[in-house]
Structure 1
Amino acid sequence: MDMWIAVVIGIVEGLTEFLPVSSTGHMILAGHLIGFTGDKADTFEIVIQLGAILAVAVLYWRRVLRLFGIQDKASRLQPGPKLNLLHILIGILPAGLIGFALHKYVKLLFMPETVLIGLVVGGLFMIVAEKQRGTQTAEKMDQITYRQSFFIGVAQVLSLWPGFSRSGATIAGGMLAGTSRAAGADFTFLMAIPLMVAASAYDFYKSIDSFSSNDIGFFVTGFIVSFIVALVAVATFIKLVSRLSLTYFSYYRFILAAVMLVFVLAGKLS
């Protein structure tokens, strides 16, 4: 396979995985545009998602260690409650259980037409969250309660529909439950590590037959590109999310859906 495909899809994944615009939706649309579809493409998307996950683990390594009770001196001196593993478990459980139970049905939604619906509906959900957000009680991630973790986890179930966006659903869900955008984004990124590792491992196991040793260079290229681009994207998004309304991302989603609808109607994405 041409390495440029690995680079293009790797960039798409790295840029969009942790933005509220749906990386899965973007990869499905991009794959259809360049003719990269089928079992091989599905397996490749799983591998490069792990690159984006690794980027988050690198950026959040101190927070990951704190979840397991390993704290540096500065962390030990910080007063007040701390986010723990139970928060993470509560947050990932709803989508994890439903995604596992309905895995084969969710996969039926992985097509351009359903992605466009997800982009629009997810964008509307984020606008609602901006306008109807609850009283803010968690400005920082460590202030998130178990109830808010569960609410975010329930919102995350919506992201099983490709195009809806996992980060968009969880950040918006957190805002409706009373978290700040920044706290919701931090929790979303941290929660992504175990959830996406588990989901990717399961998907990879189901798709292992489509993988061969001849694809190693292709897959490694996509993995590295996704990792590097995700490092930059996550670091940038964290700085922007506290002051940039989700509504702007919704407008982008609507424009993308409208543009891609033209291709769908023209049969270019079939």
Structure 2
Amino acid sequence: MDFLSAIIMGIIEGLTEFLPVSSTGHMILTAHLLDLNTDSESVKTFEVIVQLGAVLAVVVLYFRKFLGMFDFRRQTLRSLRPRLNLLHIIIAMIPASLLGVLLRDVIKQYLFGPQTVVYSLVAGGLLMIAAEKFHPRATAETVDEITYRQAFIIGIFQILALWPGFSRSGSTISGGLFARVSSTAAAEFTFLVSVPIMLGATVVDMYSSIDQLSSGDFPVFAAGFVTAFIVAMLAIKTFLGLLKRFSLTSFAIYRFVLAAVFFFIIL
């Protein structure tokens, strides 16, 4: 991988990681168009590194919110309207984290591939359309109004994101709508929950592949990391604005188009 490829991949990761359009699908398609060997350890590790850059963007943008999560004063399990705190994140993390650890090898063996990504792009798009059409009226308009029960429901839907191409934000925003959370609140909650999960996955993947890399890989990785960080910061703010102007169905249609592109270019 050269610097130009690293920057292009960083841009794609930063743009798509937190949008309900599947960053995995875009990364696979981009790697194919750039003629990168996605089976090599260096490319696999690079994809983890740029994902970490996108995660760091969330940490920077929501730094005060993360600090506030550790304030448990007047926030108990019995509170009907507890302000967002660390317990919300833990509750939402549990379902996908447990299954992710148990099924990690199965997912990597059977679900990481262009064909399965096409299926998940379509399935995720259909879920988003269904959530938008049939969701009940929201009772939580902001992240601070999300209850522990709603956090758990969103966490259940996050399990779908273990299927590459389904999209973490797409599945969790849909789950949030069904749980009576507004789309913007569900999106922000998704950003916050993604940080510990993606950090954990990054550490595991880097630990298992770090000895396969050479010193020459790191400057290229750094270029992709910085690019993903900058672009993700811009994309997160832009996406929250887009959610107020465009429906989830618009993103679902884009997913269907991307699935068709996959079918004709890669499969």
TM interval, short-chain normalised: over 0.9
**Paired residue for 1:143, among 135, 142, 145?**
145
**Paired residue for 1:242, among 241, 244, 248?**
244
Q: Distance in 2 between matches of 1:245 and 1:88?
A: 26
- Cα offset for 1:134? 2.0
The answer to whether residue 21 in structure 2 is matched with residue 33 in structure 1 is no
- Cα offset for 1:238? 1.5
Runs (5+) with no aligned partner, structure 1: 72-79, 266-270
Give me the TM-score of the superposition, normalised by structure 1: 0.92
Give me the TM-score of the superposition, normalised by structure 2: 0.93
Q: Distance in 2 between matches of 1:128 and 1:221?
A: 39
- Cα offset for 1:70? 9.6
Runs (5+) with no aligned partner, structure 2: 74-80
Alpha-carbon displacement from aligned partner over 1:50-74 (angstroms, at most 9, x marks no partner): 1001101111011001012299xxx
- Cα offset for 1:199? 1.1
Secondary structure in 1 matching 2:137:
coil
Q: Distance in 2 between matches of 1:10 and 1:210?
A: 21
Q: Distance in 2 between matches of 1:222 and 1:129?
A: 34
Superposition pairs for residues 85-100 of structure 1, below 5 Å? Answer: 85-100=86-101
Alpha-carbon displacement from aligned partner over 1:135-172 (angstroms, at most 9, x marks no partner): 31111111111111111001000011111000000011
Superposition pairs for residues 192-211 of structure 1, below 5 Å? Answer: 192-211=194-213
Superposition pairs for residues 162-181 of structure 1, below 5 Å? Answer: 162-181=164-183
- Cα offset for 1:209? 2.8
Task: Let me know the Cα RMSD of the aligned residues.
Answer: 1.4
Question: 1:180·1:242 contact (CA, 8 Å) conserved in 2?
Answer: no
Secondary structure in 2 matching 1:81:
coil
Question: 1:43·1:210 contact (CA, 8 Å) conserved in 2?
Answer: no
Q: Distance in 1 between matches of 2:115 and 2:256?
A: 14
Code of the aligned partner of 1:28:
I
Q: Distance in 2 between matches of 1:3 and 1:26?
A: 19
Superposition pairs for residues 33-182 of structure 1, below 5 Å? Answer: 33-36=33-36, 37-38=38-39, 39-69=41-71, 81-108=82-109, 109-182=111-184
Q: Distance in 2 between matches of 1:235 and 1:87?
A: 22
Q: Distance in 2 between matches of 1:243 and 1:9?
A: 28
Structure 1 equivalent of residue 8 of structure 2: 8
Question: Among the aligned pairs, what percent are the same residue?
Answer: 54
Q: Distance in 1 between matches of 2:212 and 2:15?
A: 26
Alpha-carbon displacement from aligned partner over 1:159-211 (angstroms, at most 9, x marks no partner): 11111000000011000110000110110011111111111111111222322
Structure 1 equivalent of residue 227 of structure 2: 225
Size of the aligned set, in residue pairs, is 257
Structure 2 equivalent of residue 74 of structure 1: none
Q: Distance in 2 between matches of 1:29 and 1:158?
A: 21
